[in-house]
Amino acid sequence: MQTLEYEFIAHPRILYGDCSLEEIPAELAENDACKPLVIASREAVRRKLGKTLIRAFYDSGCIIGGIYDEVRDYAGISLALNAAQLFRKRGCDAFIALGDRAAADIARAANILVSHKTDTLLPFFNGETPSRRLMPFIFVPTCCTGASAAGRTLFIDNRRLHSDYYFPDVVVTDRRMSLPCSARCAAESAILAMDNALWSIIDDNQSPMKNAFAHAALKLIGDNLSGFLKRPRDGKRALPIANAGVLASIAAANARPGIVRVLGEELEKETSIPAAVFIANLTPAALFCIQKNESPLPGDLLLAAAGMDAYAAVPTEQLGRRGAEAIIEMFESAANEIPEAAISRIPAHLLAEACNNAASREMVNFGADDAMAVLEMARQEMPWQTHDNGERK
Amino acid sequence: MNIDRYPEIRPGKKVFKKAYAFVVLLVVGRGIEAADRVDGEVKDIVRGLPEGFTFSLGVAPSGPWMVIRKEKSGKLRYLGWRRFGKTIELDMAIRNIEAAFRIFTFRESTAQAHNNGRFSVNGNLPNALAIMRIMDIAEIYLLPKIIATLAVKRYPDRRELPPGRKHFNRLRIYLRAFSPGLFRVVYRNL
């Protein structure tokens, strides 16, 4: 019998459901804080989510130190410095990030600056890890892939920092906040959540806790994805997908980054096309490569996406294949909502550069050749897109 | 950087919701006091509470509250909405005014609210559960059945609480709750 050796950390407290936004003042009080600085994305403020957040503080006795709403798509160090300056001048004692990944990253970076009483992140870029606990940090993900930023990675100025201290203390998924702005945004959120869950399950370092988080995320996505893509503004569907995004990002924070996510991020850097677009196109190819190499897929976990009935109807020896098919089906249904990433049109030198950069990232367990093989597979006519008799599905 | 572009924000107040919660707590508080004098089951539960036991139920962080004490005579007494100067042994707080409004508009039963983590309890847990049972009984008497079924965990059937006894006790509780004693409490708390 195989003995398990694993470590798992899931620091954030997840608040989910009706009135969860109104719980923030109580959570701040439990962390000995009463004056938060809100780091909000421009998009969130434009959609008046900032006002909704302020209304949640009515009758709470808390004062909001300010809403710093300069965050757009890119998290830069200058924004973090400005946020830290505002935090100090206002005498704040907690951070609330409202928005997507960029808002969360600015809040994390500003949190490091104020907690370590410094004006530079250079030591941290050079490998130093935080030496003390950071200020309370609450993350309220909004649409546009926000929930996938609940992990332990800080991505600022195109650099990645990892530490358990970067986990938010509280993640609040609320119906009023988590509605996507468009069908494309909904599809991208679902793709990122699925990717995080999928590669946490496929990761070599098996851990029952990680599997539990990823399995729950896949189940939530499987139950709600089709309805969510048809009606992205339906809160009953959007909220479970946001919750799945949070669970999957916690699972992914405890796993090695998957080949597709890393490649997607590197290609995003090269082409400025969102990573989710590449992930949707590369995942089927990557799964096919895994199956071709006869690596076993944990089909029992992957089939969570298809539901209990599908799981019960599949013979044990076919679980891996059918699990992969169920996942590919979900990715393809989400990919219908986003433009196709024409990988064949991207210059070869950019692809090669992305592969090399992906293979040189920390903690990855694949080489540039593996990444290129996945890209080559994605450029071809996919074997899973044809029936056994050769007709296209 | 011009920090004046990001002004400090002092969130406002939800006056209507607070006023509604205040009225509900006042009526429930008086209802609990009256139910203790009318209903046998409430009397049995109160007998198990220690003498001088004082508890408060309200909305964190700034109220409104209701405070009830077990007197030397063994009866519960509603002391009003002021907590200052009273030794509270069991402090039950609904975590925010929105959650309180959900509970007091009966969109969520008290048991479901406990399950959803809407309450924070500071004190002896068995006593807190006893108080929740008393509140459920008081709500059964104070509210029409169609609303009370939403507010309590389980509405008693006709054998447990015959309709005749229910309506007779309900009348007595209403008379006691809105008796001149109410004005005494209001006067003392002003």
User: pLDDT (tens digit, 9 = 90+) per residue, A318-373?
Assistant: 777 777 888 888 888 888 877 766 677 788 888 888 888 888 887 788 888 888 88
Please judge whether A22 and B10 are an interchain contact, meaning their C-beta atoms are less than 8 angstroms apart.
no
Tokens of B87: 């030794």
Q: Which amino acid is residue A67, in one-letter code?
A: I
Nearest C-alpha in A relative to B12: A58
**Which chain B positions have a beta carbon within 8 Å of A29's beta carbon?**
61
- Report CB contact under 8 Å: B61, A25: yes
CA-to-CA distance for A111 and A113, rounded, in angstroms? 5
Give the long-range contacts of residues B61-64, CB within 8 A, separation 24 or more.
Answer: B61/A25, B61/A29, B61/A59, B61/A60, B61/A61, B62/A59, B62/A61, B63/B18, B63/B22, B64/B18, B64/B21, B64/B22, B64/B25
Q: Which residues of B touch A64 (CB under 8 A)?
A: 8-11
Indicate yes or no: CB of B98 within 8 angstroms of CB of A22.
yes
Judged by DSSP in three states, B79 sits in strand
Tell if the CB–CB gap between B118 and A19 is shorter than 8 Å: yes
Asked if residue A8 belongs to a domain, the reply is no
Of A109, A144, A173, which one is at a domain's C-terminal end? A173
Please report whether residue A315 resides in a domain. Answer: yes
Over residues A82-100, the mean pLDDT reads: 91
Q: Would you state the CATH architecture of domain B16-179?
A: 2-Layer Sandwich (3.30)
Name the closest residue on chain B to residue A78, using Cα atoms: B1
**Interval A278-302: pLDDT, tens:** 888 888 888 888 777 766 777 777 7
Cβ-defined contact of B99 to A22 (cutoff 8 Å): yes
Task: Show which residues on chain A lie within 8 Å of chain B, measured between beta carbons.
Answer: 17-19, 22-23, 25-26, 29, 54-69, 82, 85-86, 89-90
Q: Is the dihedral of CA B73, B78, B80, B82 positive or negative?
A: positive
Enumerate the residues of chain B whose CB falls inside 8 A of the CB of residue A89.
Answer: 3
Cα–chain-centroid distance for residue A178? 14
Q: Best interface-test mutation with B: which of A59, A62, A79 has the largest number of B CBs within 10 A?
A: A59
**pLDDT tier for residue B24 given thresholds of 50, 70 and 90:** very high
For residues A146 and A208, membership in a common domain is answered with: no
Residues 6+ apart with CB under 8 A from B169: B35, B38, B39, B141
Cβ separation of B95 and A23 shorter than 8 Å?
A: yes
Residue A146 — very low, low, confident or very high, per pLDDT cuts 50/70/90?
A: low
The pLDDT mean for chain A works out to: 83
- Residue A80 is assigned to a structural domain of this protein: yes
More confident residue, A321 or A35: A35
- Do A191 and A295 reside in the same domain of the chain? yes
Q: Note the Cα A167 to chain centre separation in Å.
A: 13
Q: Does residue A146 form part of some domain? A: yes
Query: Residue A1: its pLDDT value, please?
Result: 59
**Chain A to chain B Cβ contacts (< 8 Å):** 73
Give tens-digit pLDDT for A169-192: 999 988 888 777 777 888 888 888
Whether residues A260 and A142 fall in one domain: no
> Which of 130-189 (B) contact A at CB < 8 A?
none
Q: What is the pLDDT of residue A341?
A: 61
CA distance A54 to chain B (A): 6
Q: What is the CATH number of the domain that holds A51?
A: 3.40.50.1970
Sign for the pseudo-dihedral over CA of A151, A156, A160, A164:
negative
Q: Report CB contact under 8 Å: A25, B102.
A: no
- If one compares A146 and A141, the residue with the highest pLDDT of the two is A141
| Separation between Cα atoms, residue B138 and residue B131, nearest integer Å | 10
A329 shares a domain with A288? yes
* Sequence-distant (≥ 6) Cβ neighbours of residue A281 within 8 angstroms: A335, A340, A341, A343, A378
Distance CA B18, CA A362 (A): 53
Of A22, A63, A68, the CB nearest to B6: A68
* pLDDT given at position A185: 81
Q: Residue A137 above 90 pLDDT? A: yes
Specify the 3-state DSSP secondary structure of A51: helix
Shared domain for A218 and A169, answered yes or no, is: no
Q: Using a CB-CB distance cutoff of 8 angstroms, which residues of chain A are in contact with residue B13?
A: 58-59
CB contact under 8 A, A58 and B11: yes
Residue A4 located in a structural domain: no
CB B27 within 8 A of CB B104: no
What is the model's pLDDT at position A392? Answer: 46
Judge whether A53 lies within some domain.
yes
Least Cα separation, residue B66 to chain A (angstroms): 18
Write the CATH number for A213. Answer: 1.20.1090.10
Of A247, A17, A96, the residue nearest B98 (C-alpha):
A17
Is the per-residue pLDDT at A270 higher than 60?
Answer: yes
Q: Where are the domains of chain B?
A: 16-179
A139 is in which domain, residue-wise? 13-173
Of the candidates B11, B61, B98, which has its C-beta nearest A64's C-beta? Answer: B11
Backbone φ and ψ for B114, nearest 5 degrees, come out as -60, -45
Q: What is the pLDDT of residues A192-207, one digit of tens each?
A: 888 888 888 888 778 8
Closest partner residue to B9 (CB to CB) among A29, A64, A85 is: A64
Q: Assess if residue A98 is contained within a domain.
A: yes
Q: Do A63 and B7 touch (CB under 8 A)?
A: no
pLDDT for residue A383: 55
Please tell me whether the interface predicted TM-score (ipTM) of this complex is above 0.95. Answer: no
Q: Which residues of B touch A18 (CB under 8 A)?
A: 102
Q: Contact B61/A23 with Cβ under 8 angstroms?
A: no
More confident residue, A334 or A168: A168
Same-domain check for residues A250 and A169 = no
- Pair A92, A213 in one domain: no
- Count up the domains in chain A and report the number: 2
Pairing of strands A170-173, A137-141: parallel
A363 vs A249, residue with greater confidence = A249
Contact B8 A90 (CB under 8 A): yes
Whether the per-residue pLDDT at A390 is higher than 50: the answer is: no
Is it the case that residue A391 has pLDDT exceeding 70? no
Mean pLDDT score, A112-116: 91
Q: Is A6 part of a structural domain of the chain?
A: no
Between residues A305 and A361, which one has the greater pLDDT?
A361
Whether A119 and A254 map to the same domain: the answer is: no
Looking at the fold, whether A208 and A343 belong to one and the same domain comes out as: yes
Using one digit for the tens of pLDDT, what is the confidence trace for B57-106?
999 888 899 999 998 888 888 888 888 888 889 999 998 899 999 999 98
- For residue B157, count other CB atoms closer than 10 A to its CB: 8
Do B95 and A26 make contact, defined as CB atoms within 8 angstroms?
yes
> What does the block give as tokens for A50?
């900032």
Work out the average pLDDT over A120-128: 85
